[in-house]
């Protein structure tokens, strides 16, 4: 499972729209996707998608509902966990309570292939807790001084407080691809000088009036206007994220917090250890074990395929 935080520091840069459309585009590509609204103060994933959820995370926090009760079906089969707007109890949650909420996610819900977490603006404890619980941190930035300084401040605090060392940069509202690339290089130059972090570039999403139109119509851009320039760019970014997940799986250990309690992840960890100590290096036994476990836990074929073709193959290659 891939857990991706969409963050960026500054408000209004496009985090929620990127999160929503990444989720819908990945779902259109055949993945099982869940979208978690972690903007606990000013939730608006449901607003962007034109949904009117009966229950929200506030009902989970008050103890009236379980997480499974608040999940709603969104467009293209995306499962959405809506948050509440303007509920004091949510804004005042302590980091311990937020961590409990995150743990409930792994205990109460069937894990999707991809979980996308839309964070609120700012660099406060809530944003830090949610980003630290994810495997990848996508920073949405615009070519404006305030967006760049906020993104830098967020990386600095996440590096210092949560030991996060890699960020994926997505340049939003750019006029052309070169502007996005230059923006990424500018951030990279500053980080090289002052921060010990690694950056990846997910691409540039153009300023697109179709995105604004989709927002007005409260529909997801990628399904309402799939051929619009921003939709195509978001689809590309989703594919890159997915590929990066497959390529970097071995090295992304810090992000196992979210689902480390689930049986599936524990079993996956055991398989990894077995693969690494496999003396013959042919992984035959592990492939058989994978087959049995996939059948036992009803893992979907994509997870099985990932283990067989990618993870285990890279283990075997590393040993040879």
Give residues in contact with Mg ion (CB under 5 A): 15-16
- The one segment of 95-103, 206-214, 269-277, 281-289 that binds ligand ADP by CB under 6 A: 206-214
Please give the DSSP secondary-structure letter assigned to residue 85: B
Question: How far apart, in whole angstroms, are the C-alpha atoms of residue 32 and residue 29?
Answer: 9
* Smallest gap from residue 118 Cβ to ligand ADP (A): 7
Distances in whole angstroms, Cα of residue 275 to Cα of each of 116, 189, 278, 293: 29, 38, 5, 15
* Member of 211, 214, 290, 316 binding ligand ADP (CB under 6 A): 211
Q: Does 284 bind ligand ADP (CB under 6 A)?
A: no
Task: Tell me if 15 contacts ligand ADP by CB under 6 A.
Answer: yes
Stretch that binds ligand ADP, among 11-19, 70-78, 98-106, 247-255 (CB under 6 A): 11-19
229 belongs to the binding site for ligand ADP (CB under 6 A): no
Cα 231 vs. chain centroid, distance in angstroms?
Answer: 18
Alpha helices by DSSP H, 109-176: 125-132, 145-162
- Residue 211's binding partner among ligand ADP, Mg ion, none (Cβ under 5 to 8 angstroms by kind) is ligand ADP
CB of 105 to Mg ion, least distance (A): 19
The token pair at 217 is: 């119509």
The smaller minimum CB distance to Mg ion, of residues 46 and 306, is found at 46
* Cβ atoms of residues 170 and 203 within 8 Å: yes
Length of the chain: 320
Quick check: 208 binds ligand ADP (CB under 6 A)?
yes
Look up residue 120 and give its two tokens: 């609120």
Q: Does 147 bind ligand ADP (CB under 6 A)?
A: no
Token representation of residue 96: 């311990």
Which of Mg ion, ligand ADP, none does 233 bind, CB closer than 5 to 8 A by kind? none
Which residues lie below 8 Å from residue 212, measured CB to CB, with a gap of 6+? none
Bridge partner residues of 168 (DSSP): 138, 200
Site residues for ligand ADP, 114-133, by CB under 6 A, read: 121
Contact call for residue 16 and ligand ADP (CB under 6 A):
yes
Which of 68, 178 has the CB closer to ligand ADP?
178
Contacting ligand ADP (CB under 6 A), which of 104, 207, 261, 314? Answer: 207
Angle separating helix axes 263-277 and 284-297, nearest 10 degrees:
170
The nearest distance, CB 44 to Mg ion, in angstroms, is: 6
Nearest approach, Cβ of residue 99 and ligand ADP (Å): 23
- Kindly determine how many residues on this chain lie close enough to bind ligand ADP according to the rule CB under 6 A: 17
Among 172, 204, 219, 258, binds ligand ADP (CB under 6 A): 172
Cα separation, 163 vs 250, whole angstroms: 17
Closer residue to Mg ion (CB): 15 or 245 = 15
| Strand 114-119 with 2-7, pairing | parallel
Among 19, 73, 29, CA closest to 50 = 73
319 binds ligand ADP (CB under 6 A): no
Using CA atoms of 11, 13, 19, 22 in order, give the dihedral in degrees to the nearest 10: 180
Q: Does the footprint of ligand ADP cover residue 212 (CB under 6 A)?
A: yes
Question: For tokens 């779902």, what's the residue?
Answer: 27
Which residues sit at the interface with ligand ADP, rule CB under 6 A? Answer: 11-17, 121, 172-173, 205, 207-208, 211-212, 215, 230
């Amino acid at each position: 499972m891939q857990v991706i935080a969409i963050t960026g520091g500054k408000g209004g840069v496009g985090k929620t729209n990127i999160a929503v459309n990444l989720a819908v585009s990945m779902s259109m590509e055949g993945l099982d996707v869940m979208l978690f609204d972690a903007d606990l103060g000013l939730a608006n994933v449901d607003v962007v998608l034109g949904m009117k959820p009966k229950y929200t995370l506030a009902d989970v926090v008050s103890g009236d509902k379980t997480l499974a009760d608040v999940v709603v079906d969104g467009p293209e089969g995306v499962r959405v966990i809506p948050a509440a707007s303007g509920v004091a109890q949510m804004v005042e949650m302590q980091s311990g309570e937020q961590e409990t909420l995150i743990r409930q996610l792994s205990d109460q819900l069937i894990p999707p292939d991809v979980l996308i977490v839309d964070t609120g603006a700012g660099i406060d404890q809530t944003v830090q807790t949610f980003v630290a619980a994810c495997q990848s941190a996508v920073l949405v930035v615009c070519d404006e001084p305030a967006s760049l300084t906020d993104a830098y401040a967020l990386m600095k605090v996440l590096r210092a407080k949560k030991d996060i060392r890699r960020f994926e940069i997505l340049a939003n509202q750019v006029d052309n691809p070169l502007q996005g690339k230059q923006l990424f290089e500018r951030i990279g130059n500053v980080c090289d000088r002052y921060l010990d972090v690694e950056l990846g570039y997910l691409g540039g999403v153009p300023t697109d009036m179709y995105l604004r139109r989709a927002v007005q119509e409260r529909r997801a851009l990628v399904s309402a206007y799939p051929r619009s320039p921003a939709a195509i760019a978001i689809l590309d970014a989703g594919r890159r994220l997915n590929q990066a997940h497959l390529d970097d799986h071995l090295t992304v250990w810090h992000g196992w917090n979210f689902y480390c309690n689930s049986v599936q992840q524990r079993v996956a960890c055991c398989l990894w250890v077995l693969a690494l100590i496999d003396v013959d290096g042919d992984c035959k036994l592990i492939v058989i074990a994978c087959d049995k476990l996939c059948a036992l836990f009803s893992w979907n074929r994509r997870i099985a395929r990932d283990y067989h073709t990618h993870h285990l193959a890279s283990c075997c290659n590393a040993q040879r």
